[in-house]
Chain A
Amino acid sequence: MKRMDWVVDFISRKGFRKGWTVFIVAFFLFFVVLPTLYVVTYAFTDWSAIETAVLSNPETLSTIVDSVVISFEIAAIVTVIDFLAGLPIAWILVRKEFRGKEFLDTLIDMPLAVPTAALGFSAAVFWVMNPDPVPFSLSVISSPFLLIILLHIVFSYPYMVRSLAAILEEIDDTYEVAGRTLGASRLTAARTITLPLFRAGLATGVILCFSRSMSETGGTMIALSTMANLGIGEAANFFTGSTLIGEWRSLVETDPTYAPSLAFVSILLIALALILLIILKLVIMKFHLPLRKVWPMQEKMLSRGIFPKMKDGGALLFLALIVLIPSFFIFTYVLFSDPASLDMGALSYALGYSFLVAGVVTVIDIALGIPFALHITKHRDRASSNVLDVLVNVPLIVPTAALGYSLFLFWGSIGTGGASFVVLILAHVAFTYPLVVRNVAGAVEEIDPSFEETARTLGARPIQSFHRVLYPLIKSSILAGAIMAFTRSLGETGATQAVLGRNALTAPVYIVSLVKADELYQAGLACIILIIVSYIFMLLLRYLTKKRKEAI
Chain B
Amino acid sequence: MPSITLRGIKKSYGKVVAADGLELEVENGEYLCLLGPTGAGKTTALRIIAGLTKPDSGQVLLDVRDVTHLEPEERNAVLLSQRYSLFPTMTVAENILFGPSIRKVPELDSRKTLVELLDLVRLTKRADSYPRELSGGMQQRNALARALATNPDVLLLDEPLRALDARLRIDLRHELRSLAKALGLTVIHVTHDQEEAMVMADRIAVIRNGRIVQIGTPREVFDDPVSPFVANFVGQSNFFVGNILCSRDGRMTTVEDDKGHVVFARSSEIPVDSKVVVAIKVGNTRVVKKSDAFLTGAVERALFEGRVVHLDVNAGDLGRYSVKLPASRRDQVAVGDEVGLNWEIPKASVFPYPEGGLEEELRVD
- Chain A residues with CB under 8 Å of chain B are 5, 381, 448, 450-451, 453-462, 464, 468-469, 472-473
Cβ of B166 under 8 Å from chain A: no
Cβ of B99 under 8 Å from chain A: yes
- Chain B residues with CB under 8 Å of chain A are 13, 50-52, 71-73, 75-83, 85, 87-89, 98-99, 102-104, 146-147, 150, 156
Please give me the residue from chain A that is nearest to B53 by CB atom. Answer: A453
Please give me the residue from chain B that is nearest to A461 by CB atom. Answer: B73
Point out the residues of chain B lying under 8 angstroms from A469, CB to CB. Answer: 87, 89
Inter-chain pairs besides A453-B79, A473-B89, 17 sampled, C-beta below 8 Å: A450-B81, A450-B82, A450-B85, A451-B87, A453-B52, A453-B72, A454-B79, A454-B80, A454-B81, A455-B87, A456-B71, A456-B72, A457-B52, A457-B72, A457-B156, A462-B71, A468-B87
Please state if A468 and B98 are interface contacts (CB–CB under 8 Å): yes
Nearest-neighbour CB distance to chain B for A288, whole angstroms, equals 29
Nearest-neighbour CB distance to chain A for B319, whole angstroms, equals 39
Point out the residues of chain A lying under 8 angstroms from B87, CB to CB. Answer: 451, 455, 468-469
Nearest-neighbour CB distance to chain A for B49, whole angstroms, equals 10
Please state if A458 and B77 are interface contacts (CB–CB under 8 Å): no
Please state if A458 and B146 are interface contacts (CB–CB under 8 Å): yes
Please give me the residue from chain A that is nearest to B89 by CB atom. Answer: A472
Please give me the residue from chain A that is nearest to B151 by CB atom. Answer: A459
Please give me the residue from chain A that is nearest to B147 by CB atom. Answer: A458
Which of A448, A460, A468, A473 is B73 in contact with, Cβ under 8 Å?
A460
Nearest-neighbour CB distance to chain A for B205, whole angstroms, equals 21
Cβ contacts A to B, 12 pairs, < 8 Å: A381-B13, A450-B81, A451-B87, A455-B98, A456-B71, A457-B52, A458-B99, A458-B102, A458-B146, A462-B71, A468-B98, A469-B89
Which of B51, B102, B104, B156 neighbours the largest number of chain A CB atoms within 10 Å of its CB?
B102
Point out the residues of chain A lying under 8 angstroms from B98, CB to CB. Answer: 455, 458, 460, 468
* A453 to B80 Cα, complex, angstroms: 10
Please state if A457 and B50 are interface contacts (CB–CB under 8 Å): yes
Please give me the residue from chain B that is nearest to A471 by CB atom. Answer: B89
Point out the residues of chain B lying under 8 angstroms from A457, CB to CB. Answer: 50-52, 72-73, 75, 77-79, 156
Nearest-neighbour CB distance to chain A for B152, whole angstroms, equals 8
Point out the residues of chain A lying under 8 angstroms from B80, CB to CB. Answer: 454
Point out the residues of chain A lying under 8 angstroms from B104, CB to CB. Answer: 5
Nearest-neighbour CB distance to chain B for A183, whole angstroms, equals 33
* A381 to B12 Cα, complex, angstroms: 13
Nearest-neighbour CB distance to chain A for B253, whole angstroms, equals 49
Nearest-neighbour CB distance to chain B for A403, whole angstroms, equals 38
Point out the residues of chain A lying under 8 angstroms from B76, CB to CB. Answer: 459
Nearest-neighbour CB distance to chain B for A302, whole angstroms, equals 40
- 4 pairs of A and B residues whose beta carbons are closest in the complex: A456-B72, A472-B89, A454-B85, A457-B79
Point out the residues of chain A lying under 8 angstroms from B88, CB to CB. Answer: 473
Point out the residues of chain A lying under 8 angstroms from B83, CB to CB. Answer: 448, 450
* A456 to B47 Cα, complex, angstroms: 12
Point out the residues of chain A lying under 8 angstroms from B77, CB to CB. Answer: 457
* A439 to B147 Cα, complex, angstroms: 32
Please state if B102 and A464 are interface contacts (CB–CB under 8 Å): yes
Point out the residues of chain A lying under 8 angstroms from B103, CB to CB. Answer: 459
Nearest-neighbour CB distance to chain A for B224, whole angstroms, equals 35
Point out the residues of chain B lying under 8 angstroms from A451, CB to CB. Answer: 85, 87
Nearest-neighbour CB distance to chain A for B127, whole angstroms, equals 17
Which of A450, A458, A461, A464 is B150 in contact with, Cβ under 8 Å?
A458
Please state if B81 and A459 are interface contacts (CB–CB under 8 Å): no
Point out the residues of chain A lying under 8 angstroms from B71, CB to CB. Answer: 456, 461-462
Point out the residues of chain B lying under 8 angstroms from A473, CB to CB. Answer: 88-89
Nearest-neighbour CB distance to chain B for A454, whole angstroms, equals 4
Point out the residues of chain B lying under 8 angstroms from A381, CB to CB. Answer: 13
Known: A457-B73, A459-B76, A461-B73. A448 touches B85 (CB 8 A): yes
Please state if B89 and A458 are interface contacts (CB–CB under 8 Å): no
Point out the residues of chain A lying under 8 angstroms from B82, CB to CB. Answer: 450
Please state if B81 and A453 are interface contacts (CB–CB under 8 Å): yes
Please give me the residue from chain B that is nearest to A448 by CB atom. Answer: B85
Point out the residues of chain B lying under 8 angstroms from A460, CB to CB. Answer: 73, 98, 102
Please state if A459 and B102 are interface contacts (CB–CB under 8 Å): yes
Point out the residues of chain A lying under 8 angstroms from B13, CB to CB. Answer: 381
* A457 to B157 Cα, complex, angstroms: 12
Which of B52, B75, B82 neighbours the largest number of chain A CB atoms within 10 Å of its CB?
B52
Please give me the residue from chain B that is nearest to A457 by CB atom. Answer: B79
* A460 to B52 Cα, complex, angstroms: 13
Point out the residues of chain B lying under 8 angstroms from A464, CB to CB. Answer: 102
Please state if B78 and A458 are interface contacts (CB–CB under 8 Å): yes
Which of B52, B73, B85 is A459 in contact with, Cβ under 8 Å?
B73
* A462 to B147 Cα, complex, angstroms: 18
Nearest-neighbour CB distance to chain B for A104, whole angstroms, equals 27
Point out the residues of chain A lying under 8 angstroms from B52, CB to CB. Answer: 453, 456-457
* A275 to B73 Cα, complex, angstroms: 46
Point out the residues of chain B lying under 8 angstroms from A448, CB to CB. Answer: 83, 85
Known: A453-B72, A454-B85, A473-B88. A459 touches B150 (CB 8 A): yes
Point out the residues of chain B lying under 8 angstroms from A468, CB to CB. Answer: 87, 98, 102
Nearest-neighbour CB distance to chain A for B220, whole angstroms, equals 31
* A460 to B79 Cα, complex, angstroms: 13
* A120 to B147 Cα, complex, angstroms: 58
Point out the residues of chain A lying under 8 angstroms from B79, CB to CB. Answer: 453-454, 457
Nearest-neighbour CB distance to chain B for A276, whole angstroms, equals 33
Point out the residues of chain A lying under 8 angstroms from B78, CB to CB. Answer: 457-458
* A473 to B86 Cα, complex, angstroms: 12
Nearest-neighbour CB distance to chain A for B100, whole angstroms, equals 9
Please give me the residue from chain B that is nearest to A472 by CB atom. Answer: B89
Please state if B99 and A459 are interface contacts (CB–CB under 8 Å): yes
Point out the residues of chain B lying under 8 angstroms from A454, CB to CB. Answer: 79-81, 85
Point out the residues of chain B lying under 8 angstroms from A462, CB to CB. Answer: 71
Please give me the residue from chain A that is nearest to B101 by CB atom. Answer: A468
* A381 to B104 Cα, complex, angstroms: 35
* A451 to B95 Cα, complex, angstroms: 11
Point out the residues of chain A lying under 8 angstroms from B146, CB to CB. Answer: 458
* A461 to B103 Cα, complex, angstroms: 10
* A51 to B252 Cα, complex, angstroms: 96
Nearest-neighbour CB distance to chain A for B79, whole angstroms, equals 4
Please give me the residue from chain A that is nearest to B52 by CB atom. Answer: A453
Nearest-neighbour CB distance to chain B for A444, whole angstroms, equals 15
Nearest-neighbour CB distance to chain B for A14, whole angstroms, equals 8
* A361 to B51 Cα, complex, angstroms: 38
* A218 to B81 Cα, complex, angstroms: 52
Nearest-neighbour CB distance to chain A for B282, whole angstroms, equals 36
